[in-house]
Structure 1
Amino acid sequence: MNNFSRLFWGEWQNLFTNKTIRNIIFIVPLLYLTLFGFLYGEKKVMHIPTVMVDADQTELSRELYRAFEADQTFAISAIVGTEEEAMKQIDQGEANVALIIPADLEKNVKAGREAEVLTVIDGSNMMISNTAVRAANTVVKSVSAGATLKKLEAHGGWGEEGKNLYTGIDYRYRVLYNPTFSYMSFMVFGLAGTVLQQVLFLGIAISVTQQKEAGTWRNTMENYSFWAITASKLLPYFLAGTLNMFLGFTLLLKVFGIPYYGSTVHLMLVASAFNLAVLSIGYAISFFSKDQLQATQIAMLIAVPSFMLSGFTWPFISMPAGVEAIGKSLPLTYFLHGVREILTKGHGLAQVSSDMLVLCLMAVLGLFAAYLTYLGQTRKKTSPARESAAV
């Protein structure tokens, strides 16, 4: 066997005998692909929360209601009396689409005058806005075509005379928050949050394990309290993560000129809560990992699919319940929702208070898990010493 064959065969055997490498190569891809298969199982965005304003109250407006209800793209969640009420629901995130049916719609249709139906769409998620625009246009045109045929049949006119009897219903739409359908305004914020999360995750995840590998971790636990170790570990990464957030979003908003409408101070407050959550979870991972490689694996297992599961691109309304639950257990989900609410919609802290609360809770749970692991490791290291002292 020549040198190349020996090297190749050795590495081939190592690929299957080394548990860590085997899991990375064969298990992790299958896990991700299975998860993404379930994630996009609906195949398209469906059941978009829709609020309706029916100022016409006629058979034609009820037919439009039935048509939107029958189309699986929409789910009419409320019927309100005014356009202002509908806009409030969209602004608060209770609905993504508002169907506005004006007064005298049926009267104008029968008289052959101009008649139109308006949909107002939340454009902060382009998957929702693109789907809603196309689907609403199809629904309105279908109802319009059906009404046209009924009118023509009633008058018996199919030539030029028939064309003048009915003009149809014009479809109009207005997109809020991202009216130009800009992918830069839509995608870059999410990708920025994902990158900054991964950097922070990897940095803190190896903070304890590198000491374990160097053989200094036991001495650190014997000479310092948990909270002293925690503060010394987390504070440098928190400051570095906050600086990265500030520089990253300054670059996006000021240098690349991405439009934004909310307060950058509010953004940094949400970012601080997010950094604490990520650091606490990564710190806990570092505590119960035996070495840097294992800590990196676990951190990446969480960080890599976070963006796909965050609801930022593919909405939660089109996810299976189990996948949605996973997405809502990740800190990136709440940070990106906060970014969207503040920068894209121009909202204040009141609209992101629940996101900050969940992130702070995640930080507490992460520190608690690290503390329990610390206690377990401390007992393991002190028990042999006690036994030898007793002897």
Structure 2
Amino acid sequence: MQASTRITAIMIKEFIQLTRDRLTYAMILGVPIMQLLLFGFAINTDPRDLPAVLLDLDNSAYSRSVAAAIRNTGYFTFTEEASGPADIDEAIETGTAQFAITIPADFSRRVVRDDNPQILVEADASDPTTVGSALAALSNLPAQALAHDLSGPTARAPAVPPFEMVIHRRYNPEAITAYNIVPGLLGIVLTMTLVMMTALALTRERERGTMETLLSTPVEPIEVMIGKLAPYVGIGAIQTVIILILARLIFGVPLSGGWDALTLGVLMFIIGSLALGFLFSTVAKSQLQAMQMSVFYILPSILLSGFMFPFRGMPEWAQVLGTAIPVTHFLRVVRGSLLKGVGIAEAWPSLLALAIFVVVVTAAAMSRYRTTLD
């Protein structure tokens, strides 16, 4: 038999084996397609239509023209009108608004008097990439916003803007990218280590035959799960402490408080990630499949959670997918706690999403484990 014939026979055998391993075959086709769709359609570093709240204390024709000009930039969408500074603080802290525009009560009077009035623009700058383009779009707005209103006797010289925009970057006034990326790394590191580590460890036991010995004992599924995952909870806690210490000492990330929400969020996320790894181990037939399933989960967690790219810059369908990913809610808890000092009262929507994640994944893992026992 010639060498080429032998090589061809081996190639045919390998292709046949590949088609039998459906998970690997799906990964070969699925990963590049998912990357193409996500990077091509979902990733956008120039987000528009960002939610903003408006506090118009002047309520005049001039203030309404300014608000319309801000809206026409395409970067701002007024989702509500605030009744006072307290509403602005709540909207920015909870993340329901990215910007807050405050027009003072004497705005129109000072415009007419050429008294250089100021409009305050407060931005949630915890993610500098999200707000950068929007704030840049406001630089030329004072010279154009009232061009049609200031005519005749009230007309101004083109070089003299009738008012000034004062920008206040909250939580990250120097627009330091590390303040956003480093806290987000906590979610990515815990996801990569805990999900993959748990899935591989349990699948390895099945390959070595030690799981059969465990199954022969009168241990209940929930007891197996708790016993197997408890040590990894400690590992996740150690990783969290190390990342927070290094974030403060090396990168100067402000630890503003909100420790109650952060602690609860970290605990639920660790448990949920371990339960997900346990679920993967009940489905995977080999360590390779366990790793493939972990990668297939980790990739969208990085791209759609708001870790690397602005969450609000993604199209609506991508935001829906990102909202279904637990890392998205965990990053909101971590960044909100460390940068804004928000507590459980402000972070409860994300904490509730993490709690649902823990319950659903744990129930699925237990159900799948019982099926494996049978």
Class of the TM-score when normalised by the shorter of the 2 chains: 0.7 to 0.9
One of 112, 128, 144 as aligned partner of 2:114:
112
Q: Is the 8 A contact 1:112 1:164 kept in 2?
A: no
Equivalent residue for 1:285, pick from 280, 287, 290: 280
CA contact (8 A) 1:112 1:165 kept: no
- Match of 2:296, as an amino acid? L
Supply the AA of the counterpart residue of 1:176.
Answer: R
2:32 to 4, 26, 29: 29
Deviation string, structure 1 residues 339-361 (Cα, Å, up to 9, x no partner):
11100101122222332332232
C-alpha separation in 2, matches of 1:164 and 1:296: 63
Q: CA deviation at 1:289?
A: 1.1
The match for 1:240 is 235
Question: Matched residue of 1:305: which SS?
Answer: helix
Mapping 1:228-307, distance limit 5 Å? 228-264=223-259, 266-307=261-302
Distance 1:23 1:12 in 2: 19
Specify whether residues 100 and 74 from structure 1 end up closer, same or farther in structure 2 by C-alpha distance, changes over 3 A only. Answer: same
Tell me what 1:214 maps to: 208
| Partner residue, 1:310 | 305
Is 2:206 the partner of 1:204? no
TM-score scaled by length of structure 1? 0.84
State the alpha-carbon separation in 1 of the partners of residues 122 and 259 from structure 2: 27
2:78 to 42, 51, 76: 76
What's the CA shift for 1:12?
A: 10
> How well do the aligned residues superpose, as a CA RMSD in angstroms?
3.0
Describe the shift of the 1:138–1:302 C-alpha distance in structure 2 as closer, same or farther (beyond 3 A): farther
Q: Distance in 2 between matches of 1:249 and 1:178?
A: 17
- How far residue 155 of structure 1 moved from its aligned partner, in angstroms, is 4.9
Tell me the amino acid that sits aligned with residue 34 of structure 1.
L
Q: Name which of structure 1's ranges 188-197 and 77-86 shifts more when overlaid on structure 2.
A: 77-86
1:382 alignment counterpart = none
Matches of 1:164 and 1:33 in 2, distance apart? 47
C-alpha distance in 1 between matches for 2:105 and 2:228: 64
Q: Which aligned pairs between 1:360-371 and structure 2 lie closer than 5 A?
A: 360-371=355-366
Aligned partners of 1:62 and 1:12: how far apart in 2?
Answer: 72
Deviation at 1:304, TM superposition (A): 2.0
State the match for 1:388 in structure 2.
Answer: none
Q: Distance in 2 between matches of 1:248 and 1:91?
A: 24
Q: Is the 8 A contact 1:310 1:330 kept in 2?
A: yes
Distance 1:44 1:8, change over 3 A: farther
Within 5 Å, give how 1:1-391 maps onto structure 2: 14=14, 18-19=18-19, 22-40=25-43, 44-147=46-149, 150-151=150-151, 154-155=152-153, 163=157, 167-223=161-217, 224-264=219-259, 266-379=261-374
Distance 2:288 2:342 in 1: 41
Which amino acid in structure 2 is aligned with residue 29 of structure 1? Answer: P
State the shift of 1:92 in Å.
2.9
Deviation at 1:176, TM superposition (A): 0.5
Displacement, 1:53? 1.5
The DSSP-based 3-state class of the residue aligned with 2:80 is strand
Q: Distance in 2 between matches of 1:156 and 1:28?
A: 61
Question: Secondary structure, in 3 states, of the residue corresponding to 2:38?
Answer: helix
Distance 1:266 1:109, change over 3 A: closer
Partner of 1:383: none
Kindly indicate whether the alpha-carbon contact (under 8 Å) linking 2:179 and 2:253 is maintained by their aligned counterparts in 1: yes
Q: Give the percent of matched residue pairs that are identical in Structure 1 and Structure 2.
A: 26
Whole-angstrom CA distance in 1 between matches of 2:5 and 2:332: 53
Distance (Å, rounded) in 1 between the aligned partners of 2:341 and 2:5: 63
**Larger Rg computed on CA atoms:** 1
Q: 2 CA distance for matches of 1:5 and 1:145?
A: 81
Gap change, CA 1:239 and 1:11, over 3 Å in 2: farther
1:93-122 deviation digits (Å, cap 9, x = unpaired): 232211111223222222222222221111
Q: Distance in 2 between matches of 1:108 and 1:350?
A: 40
SS in 1 for 2:341: coil
Preserved contact between residue 45 and residue 310 of structure 2 (Cα < 8 Å): no
Aligned residues: 370
* Superimposed CA distance per residue, residues 146-201 of structure 1 (whole angstroms, 9 cap, x where no aligned partner): 55xx43xx2599xxxx6499652222111101111001111111123212210111
TM-score for both structures, normalised by structure 2: 0.88
Q: 1:17-60 CA deviation, whole Å, 9 max, x = no partner?
A: 624555444431122221332313x6731221111121222211
| Cα separation, 1, equivalents of 2:5 and 2:123 | 62
Q: Secondary structure at the match of 1:175?
A: strand
Stretches of structure 1 that go unaligned for 5 or more consecutive residues are: 380-391
